[in-house]
Amino acid sequence: MEFGMVGLGRMGGNMARRLARGGKRIAITNRSFDVTETLAGETGHSACRNYADLVAALEKPRIIWLMLPAGEVTETALSVLLPLLSPGDLIVDGANAHYQEDALRAARCAEQGIEFADAGVSGGIWGLENGYCIMFGGSDAVAARLKPYMEALAPTPETGWLHTGPVGSGHYVKMIHNGIEYGMMQAFAEGFALMKDKPGFDLDLAAIAELWRHGSVVRSWLLDLSADFLAADQMLDDIAPFVADSGEGRWTALASLEQGIPAPVITLALMMRFATQGKNDYAAKILAKMRHGFGGHAIRRD
Q: Point out the residues that are catalytic.
A: 174, 181
Q: Which residues contact 131 (CB under 8 A, 6 or more apart)?
A: 18, 123, 153, 154, 155, 156, 160
Backbone dihedral angles phi then psi of residue 265, each to the nearest 5 degrees: -65, -50
Q: How many whole angstroms separate alpha carbon 63 and alpha carbon 50?
A: 16
**Calculated CA dihedral for residues 163, 52, 16, 19, nearest 10 degrees:** 60
Q: How many whole angstroms separate alpha carbon 24 and alpha carbon 15?
A: 11
End-to-end CA distance of the chain: 62
Measured between alpha carbons, how far is residue 128 from residues 11, 12, 21, 290 in Å?
9, 10, 9, 53
Residue type at position 95:
A
Nearest to 15 by CA among 96, 129, 118: 129
Q: How many whole angstroms separate alpha carbon 133 and alpha carbon 154?
A: 6
